[in-house]
Each structure stands twice: as structure tokens, then as C-alpha cells.
Amino acid sequence: MNTEELRVFARDNIFPTLEKRSARGGFDRSPWSELARLGLTGAMIEEEWGGGGGDARDFVSGVSILAAEGCDLGLALSLLDHVILSAYPLQHFGSQALKEHYLPSLCRGERIGAAAISEPGSGGDPNRMRTVARRENGDYVLSGSKEPITNGPVADLFMVIASTDLEAGKAGLSAFLVEKGDGLRVEELALDFLPTSPHGRVILEDKLVPVGNLLGEEGWGHERISRSVFIWERAVIIPVILAFMERLHHLVVSNLEPAEMPPDLRIVLAQRKVEATAYRAVGERLVELTFGPVGGGRELMELLLFFGKSLPTWVESMRDAAAGAGLAEEETVGRMLADLRLLEVGSSMLDWQFQKIL
């Protein structure tokens, strides 16, 4: 991956088209194809399957450049989920036949991937999932609904978590690769942030799925697969969000005249800058713990919880600072602050998770 070429592409093609892409529905296949050419859609996938064979640090670095230089967190999120929630799990858990069939086109950006895990009213709680997969004539038939699904309206391939044994609870969940087509339809969901990342409701209506599209074995859906992708996704998205936050800080400061800046505002912005620098170092540690040779265990979970609490507080402080400086309505700053509402997703689970630490 040529990071300098990616930086130029983000500055010259992503940022200047952000307003237009946001207004007309957000997702555009043209930039996606260029990201594939630059190696991002096949990042972290072995060369054998058409990928670049890079590691997590390279991938995070590339997507961070895209998010920060392009000021586009939505496109970065769609790219992250395509790789981390679709191609990368397929490489880890898929059969030889599945990898041969799907990974090359995912790497080339010809297919777009998504993960259909969360359900209406229950989120990602594995004990409350009701999407089912029943055996019929040697294959599986899936029924249920999933939302909100990043990339749902544009995805060609979904990793779906469904129950093959409802009585077993989360131990009865399994994972499947499901192609778009008859029996699977998507209703677009309109969010008031992240306009360049399409989200949707995936509805499975007796969707026939070949038995060979089971990832791993029955019962792997939660313990082996969805738990893994949950950690992988957060470990890579946090450093990308941090790069986006640093870009936001830079834009706020660059729009102010230092001599006219009130002392209290100068102190707040200086504090946020120091914190962002420290967060970046901790974010690198998070990636190392997640994808390095030695598992992170408790330290990894504590870092995820730390970021879950600290980053929304940082953003809220910057929102107040931008408003106090009269910049909250500035187009790019306002859009970036809106997109950082992504940090609010799943925040209700944090207090419960913190209790488990002790």
C-alpha cells in the first residue's frame, strides 16, 4: 500500500466530493474501486486469496489516512466493516472452497461485504437473537431480521449470525455466508450522521443457504466468531476515530486567531491536543494486543472500556469548544462532530461491562 498515494487521493478526491456524495445518498462505487486499486479492500488478506498480505497496523494506518485527510468517517467505517467483518473472518473461519470463491472478488472490491449480527430491539445481545437457521433438504433456511447493518444497502455478501438451536441460547448460534438475492432483501435506514456509510435492515425470508456456506461449525457463531469480530472491529476503528478526532482538532484551531483566543479556550484546546496524542499511543497498543502474537486478555478489554468512556467525553468537550468559538456551524467541523456520534453506539452497555471488571 502506497500511503503517500493514498494521502493524495484522499485530499484530492475524497474530501472535495464529500458534500456531493453526502447529498445524493452517500456511497459511491467509483471511490471504492480506487480504494481497491490502492490495496485497502484486500488489506490483511493473504496474497494467496488476492490480498496484499499486510498486517493490521498497515491497514489501520491506511484507513486512518483516508478518514483524516478525506474528513470522511463514513467511508472509512464502510471499508473497515468490509475487511474486518467480512473478508478477514472468512479468511479465518471459512473453508478452502469458500475462500477460493469469495475472497478474490472481495479483495478486488467487486463484491462488498457486511456483517448481519445486531437485531431490532436487542442489538448484539447473543441471548436475545431470534434469527433462525433450520435444516431443510440438506441445506439451511434462514429467517429473521437484522439492523442496523453497515453497508447493508450496497453489500453483495453478508456474514449472518443465526440460531441453529434456539433452546441452547448463545451456544446455539452459528455463522453463515449469505449472498444477496432471493430471500434476502434490504430496507435502507436513514441515519442523521455518517451519510457516506449506508445502513440498512436485512430481512431474511426463508433464505436458502447451502450447507457449505456455514463458517466453521454449528455453535461457533457467538463464542468463536462474533466475539472475535467484535474485538477486531473495535481494535481497528478506535485508532481510525482518533485520527479523525485529531483532524477535527486541527480544523478548529486553524480557524481561530491565536491572539484573539480566550485563555480558557486555549487551555481546553491544549488539553484536548495532549490527550489525543496520548490516546494515539494507547491505540497502537490496542492494535498490538489484538493482532499480535500474544493475546491481550484483561488488558485488551480494559483498553476497550477506557476508550469507550474517554472518547465521547473528549468529543463533547470539543463540541462545546467549537460552539463557544462560533465554529459549530462551520460546514466541515459540524459534519465531523455529527459523524462522531458513532461513539454513542453501544454506550449503554459500558456501565454493565465496567462492573464485570471488578
In which domain, by residue range, is 151 found?
A: 113-219
Partners of residue 160 on adjacent β-strands: 116, 176
Q: Do residues 141 and 210 both lie within one domain?
A: yes
Q: Do residues 317 and 249 both lie within one domain?
A: yes
What pLDDT shows up at residue 227?
92
What pLDDT shows up at residue 347?
57
User: Is there a contact between 230 and 220 (Cβ–Cβ < 8 Å)?
Assistant: no
Catalytic, 233? Answer yes
Which of 107, 132, 153 marks a domain boundary? 107
User: Can you give the CATH number for the domain in which 163 is found?
Assistant: 2.40.110.10
What pLDDT shows up at residue 124?
80
What pLDDT shows up at residue 281?
96
Give the cell for residue 265: 479556550
What pLDDT shows up at residue 352?
45
Q: Do residues 121 and 87 both lie within one domain?
A: no
Q: Which of 46, 233, 288, 302 is catalytic?
A: 233
Q: Do residues 280 and 156 both lie within one domain?
A: no
H/E stretch holding 31 reads helix 29-37
| Per-position pLDDT tens, the chain of length 358 | 688 999 999 999 999 999 888 886 668 888 999 999 999 999 999 999 999 999 999 999 999 999 999 999 999 999 999 999 999 999 999 999 999 999 999 999 999 999 999 999 887 888 889 999 999 999 999 999 999 999 999 999 999 999 999 999 999 999 999 999 999 999 999 888 999 999 999 999 999 999 999 999 999 999 999 999 999 999 999 999 999 999 999 999 999 988 888 999 999 999 999 999 999 999 999 999 999 887 678 899 999 999 999 999 999 999 999 999 888 888 999 999 999 999 987 554 455 444 444 4
Q: What is the DSSP letter of 119?
A: B
d(CA 57, CA 80): 13
Q: Do residues 233 and 326 both lie within one domain?
A: yes
Q: Are strands 139-150 and 199-209 parallel, antiparallel or unpaired?
A: antiparallel
What pLDDT shows up at residue 25?
67
Q: Do residues 94 and 71 both lie within one domain?
A: yes
User: How many other CB atoms sit within 10 Å of the CB of residue 268?
Assistant: 16
What pLDDT shows up at residue 354?
45
Q: How many domains does the chain have?
A: 3
What pLDDT shows up at residue 61?
96
Query: For the whole prediction, is pTM greater than 0.85?
Result: yes
d(CA 358, CA 168): 28
What pLDDT shows up at residue 345?
77
Q: Do residues 174 and 204 both lie within one domain?
A: yes
